[in-house]
Amino acid sequence: MAAPDFPLGLHVFERGWLSANNILFTGGDETLLVDSGYCTHVPQTLSLVESVLGSRPLDILINTHLHSDHCGGNAALQARYPGLRTFIPPGHAQQVADWDAVALTYVPTGQLCPRFSFTQAIQPGISMRFGSEMWEVHAAPGHDPHSLVFFEPRTRVLISADALWENGFGVVFPELEGADAFAEVAATLDLIERLDPKTVIPGHGRIFSYAPEALARARQRLDSFVSKPSRHAQHAAKVLLKFKLLETQRQDFDEFAQWAAGTPYFLQIKDKFFPEIPVHAWIKQLSDELIAAGVARRDGDYIVNA
């Protein structure tokens, strides 16, 4: 794609899939970062931010939502920049204040997230200065019921988090818990269509030029999940396994399978969608599918990220 038309002082750090992309704003009176990545990537996150800011402090941190790959670096950034003000979506503010790691999904998914504090919750429907421009804050439920997206109307840049990627969207976690969240995904895609962005900065993957085809791909994927929810559940389980492999890179397969079998979210998915298959056989099946897809491999007794 051609160089995007970004507001002055907007920097994007494309991080891959264990850590969400980070967006740093330096064009205004205050510096601001959207999302902080996963906790095991903290040294890289700090290095990236400091490489742009130099001796300038980071003033504001905003999370699109509170999954561990988007806020796992919050605590380290707060320690590095003592004056940092942190803004989070409103839905889990009480759970963060109380640090309820079960309600925040870190314990059920077997993921890591050091405890962090926050300054205030951001309400959808407002506009907020990010760097040199005013950005609209929009609710974007679906992948996470409290997720936010941010839109700058002059340059038509959308920070879409996991509501829209170049080829789809993030796992619809509330649907796995029994909520009717596929309808919320559809409503969020309709919102993005109305905003009609020119450039999309997704939560994962490269920046891309928006076109109706991106929404068409997302809607086709959504329709396939709506028609067969077990397809979505199988996909979600593989995503959680891949996330663990991204974290560990290499692990004894029996230990890997034991971790999955002891992770509440896996058991919840299996009991709801695949009650007939023994848990270890299911984990073996999922792992074989990851290997067949080329995103994992076996090395003797080990399973290895690929």
Per-residue 3-state assignment (H helix, E strand, C coil) for 53-94: HCCCCCCEEECCCCCHHHHCCHHHHHHHCCCCEEEECHHHHH
Say if residue 1's pLDDT is above 80. Answer: no
Q: How confident is the model at residue 95 (pLDDT cuts 50, 70, 90)?
A: very high
Nearest-angstrom CA–CA distance, 154 and 157: 8
pLDDT of residue 160: 98
Q: Does domain 229-305 have CATH number 1.10.10?
A: yes
Query: How far lies 62's CA from each of 33, 65, 77, 279, in Å?
Result: 6, 9, 12, 38
Query: What is the pLDDT averaged over residues 139-149?
Result: 97
Architecture in CATH for domain 10-226? 4-Layer Sandwich (3.60)
pLDDT of residue 2: 64
Q: Are 220 and 245 in contact (CB under 8 A)?
A: no
Say if residue 26's pLDDT is above 80. Answer: yes
pLDDT of residue 187: 98
Nearest-angstrom CA–CA distance, 82 and 102: 27
Q: How confident is the model at residue 171 (pLDDT cuts 50, 70, 90)?
A: very high
Instruction: Encode pLDDT of 54-85 as tens digits.
Output: 999 999 999 999 999 999 999 999 999 999 99
Say if residue 3's pLDDT is above 80. Answer: no
Nearest-angstrom CA–CA distance, 193 and 132: 25
pLDDT of residue 195: 98
pLDDT of residue 16: 87
Instruction: Encode pLDDT of 205-239 as tens digits.
Output: 999 999 999 999 999 999 999 999 999 999 999 99
pLDDT of residue 71: 98
Fold agreement (10-226, 229-305): no
Say if residue 118's pLDDT is above 70. Answer: yes
Closest-CA residue to 259 (of 280, 285, 281): 280
- Residue 294: CB atoms within 10 A of its CB come to 8
What ranges do the domains of the chain cover? Answer: 10-226, 229-305
The runs of H, that is alpha helices, within the chain are 42-53, 68-71, 74-80, 93-98, 106-109, 173-176, 182-195, 212-227, 229-248, 253-261, 264-273, 279-292
